[in-house]
Structure 1
């Protein structure tokens, strides 16, 4: 028996030591980089940062600024067919040498939509200025709108001074902030349609009496030669940028296998912005997976035990999770490797019927979130007190105006007390049953987890659970024979 005890203790120690490795989370992949000074890949659907290099350092954005300009314009314009007249300042108050690719002139008239195509596909500074004046009343007024928008998006490392992205000592952003801006921009369907267009046209202008057709400048989107260094078939939309001070900057949105990614590179001085972007997009698509939250999360929405959220108690059947929400994790990881936090302090603009937000992290890295909704009405109108001169419910004014209770059926006091006693007893019994059931369910779950851990530990040392049960049965038989 003593020898058997030694064997069992040793086996437990081996299993325990092996379980440390078995249940460790896989590391977050980091085996790539960019030659640009800063770069980021953000998952479009979860918002998780998959790759990061100097993502919080402020850099000069150049013309990728125009994505923010387009977002502010679209969100503040009732009709994209409204007409915009180009002022002298919009055309000529630009940095020397910044160009005017479509030869736009003071007095030209284009629709808001046409200006957006010219600005995003050809990076027209004149179109950016004209849109800013039209939407903001002035260029400075529009810049204020830009900075309010980035603050609303959670950007803390950005300040914009003009709508075009031309050099300015105060115009700065970070790769992280630019990814937030780009994610919001490409979630806008009108902006996505425009920024993913390969070729567009404008009607006649002063210097283009026959109109003008032009193409997208972003080479990952327009090059279809598989042998080209710029070929990237998964690219969907994006924006280029360059100034003498900023170097090359680039924003790219790509989709592969049902997943979307935003890539940003800042300050490429060796023109590696395209190759850098391809490298980190491939890294993100190859090394990570998206997992649907509603398909995997069981807390709060399953079982029979009531849950309390924000001071309100719900049955699990009254709660459900946003079916589109996902988390992004390494391919080697599973949903249970993520840690979850329930956030009950919601912003004023939270979705209707939302009662909380589930926020997920992986090794202290945010990897996604999902709203927790209820099917129950969020508020019940309170019964208003009777107005002056009205009688409380259940009473009628007497003929003499005294307001005494009208004659009617009265429940005998002893019977009323007995009924209350029965209800109290029923409540106690129900509460006890729920408590016992909760303890039983918890014990079942604990036993299930123990069985799973034992199975995993046995697998790690080459045993099956059947082998283990067989050994135990043989030991029991030997003991009974003694």
Structure 2
């Protein structure tokens, strides 16, 4: 009987966490999703955010970053002979020998999701798709992606072309800090004028319905209420689809100074818009982006050793904000961590430690603590001044040369007296 009871309790202990985990994200239909605060990078909600997924055309966010960082918008690009025949899926049908600007290519890629535009950008920057993929992966790691491997610039399916919802949220966050990128992805239409090979004007339109879709045929149900797919405050950024990836969407929105980014991967049908609405609503309704400390804000006067004054004024090194759950705002705690030993001399803006803000022992954000002003050593300790870089330099100090002159003068007096004594002794020895 005891054995059966023990097995029953063990089964309950296993089932409960599984049930709870499922309940926490059961409102998200996507296989993988995440919501972050775009300003702080804080994860506000997630479902399998570190699971590797096929990103489809959300890949083009990274391609757009590299294009903006390596090219000028008015840069002219000539279409090579191979690109028009190497691509499938969505495109603007570039022609061999066609001359087009980088601005048009970027808009074609990010708004129309043109695969040929993405491939041409990659070749223009790196010479080949393979070399460009190396650049993509290097940049992804620099941004903070942990489980991403890009094979191509457009997201066409490859079993080894993978990312995660979390990684793409970090990449999108980085991209949205670029003003030109923000301006492009916030638009849902664009026009490319006729070129040397294309006599017709190209009219482009985004598939990101969060930016514009209203009226009949563009409705979804949120919490039992029928509403437009268009999302209030939507600012971008990129859709994606392949049969293997299903529907994907990286979206962003801003309300009352709060900026959010949501990522949903493998989301069938209109669920990608329902999930995106729900995620963004959850963030706006339950979290506040609050500035918890200001640059140059006074922390305390810290005692120092060997200083010309007994303390140094410590201040916050930069503005810091935190995404705080509305029902836990009163639990916000501040923790000041100072370096073990603070000794003069101290230079202005020297790092003295850091300040952390946390809720329920979870660190939300942190910043450096710096010195408001310089503090010299006491005279007795300042004979030799060691700079922060460890280089000893006393030769520029006036008091050093004063000491040298004094020593030389005393040496001169000593030698004169010694010489006189010798003469005196020599004189009386001769007389004797």
Would you call these one fold, judging by a TM-score over 0.5?
Answer: yes
2:287 equivalent in structure 1: 288
- Report deviation, 1:404: 2.9
Q: Which has the higher strand share?
A: 2
1:405 aligns with 2:392: no
The 5 Å alignment of 1:44-83 reads 44-77=38-71, 79-83=72-76
The 5 Å alignment of 1:252-331 reads 252-294=251-293, 301-306=298-303, 317-323=313-319, 325-331=320-326
Residues 116-160 of structure 1, C-alpha deviation per residue, up to 9 Å, x if partnerless? 111000001111111111112322221111101111122111110
Q: Secondary structure at the match of 2:278?
A: helix
Residues 223-274 of structure 1, C-alpha deviation per residue, up to 9 Å, x if partnerless? 2449733121211111000001100010001011210110000011344111
- Report deviation, 1:302: 2.9
2: CA distance between counterparts of 1:354 and 1:73? Answer: 37
Aligned residues of 2:331 and 2:360 also touching (Cα < 8 A): no
Aligned residues of 1:37 and 1:266 also touching (Cα < 8 A): yes
Distance 1:160 1:319, change over 3 A: same
- Report deviation, 1:194: 1.2
2: CA distance between counterparts of 1:268 and 1:93? Answer: 28
2: CA distance between counterparts of 1:246 and 1:156? Answer: 20
Aligned residues of 1:47 and 1:368 also touching (Cα < 8 A): no
Distance 1:366 1:128, change over 3 A: farther
Residues 363-409 of structure 1, C-alpha deviation per residue, up to 9 Å, x if partnerless? 4655334344444469668564669xxxx6227789xxxx933899x
> 358, 362, 365: which is aligned to 2:359?
362
Q: Secondary structure at the match of 1:35?
A: coil
Distance 1:394 1:359, change over 3 A: same
Aligned length: 355
Q: TM-score, normalised by structure 2?
A: 0.73
Aligned residues of 1:225 and 1:231 also touching (Cα < 8 A): no
- Report deviation, 1:329: 1.7
Structure 2: gaps of 5 or more residues: 1-22, 221-228, 340-347, 376-386, 413-432
The 5 Å alignment of 1:41-440 reads 41-77=35-71, 79-94=72-87, 97-100=88-91, 102-205=92-195, 208-225=198-215, 228-229=219-220, 230-294=229-293, 301-306=298-303, 317-323=313-319, 325-334=320-329, 336-338=331-333, 340=335, 342=337, 353=349, 355=351, 357-363=354-360, 365-376=362-373, 384=393, 393-394=401-402, 404-405=408-409
- Report deviation, 1:216: 2.2
Q: TM-score, normalised by structure 1?
A: 0.66
Q: Secondary structure at the match of 2:35?
A: strand
Residues 404-445 of structure 1, C-alpha deviation per residue, up to 9 Å, x if partnerless? 33899xxxxxxxxxxxxxxxxxxxxxxxxxxxxxxxxxxxxx
- Report deviation, 1:206: 5.2
Aligned residues of 1:195 and 1:239 also touching (Cα < 8 A): yes
1: CA distance between counterparts of 2:304 and 2:117? Answer: 55
2: CA distance between counterparts of 1:31 and 1:384? Answer: 62
Aligned residues of 1:292 and 1:327 also touching (Cα < 8 A): yes
2: CA distance between counterparts of 1:354 and 1:108? Answer: 55
- Report deviation, 1:288: 1.1
Indicate the structure whose relative CO is greater, using CA pairs within 8 Å and at least 6 residues apart.
Answer: 1
Distance 1:99 1:237, change over 3 A: closer
C-alpha RMSD over aligned residues: 3.5
Structure 1: gaps of 5 or more residues: 1-28, 345-351, 409-482
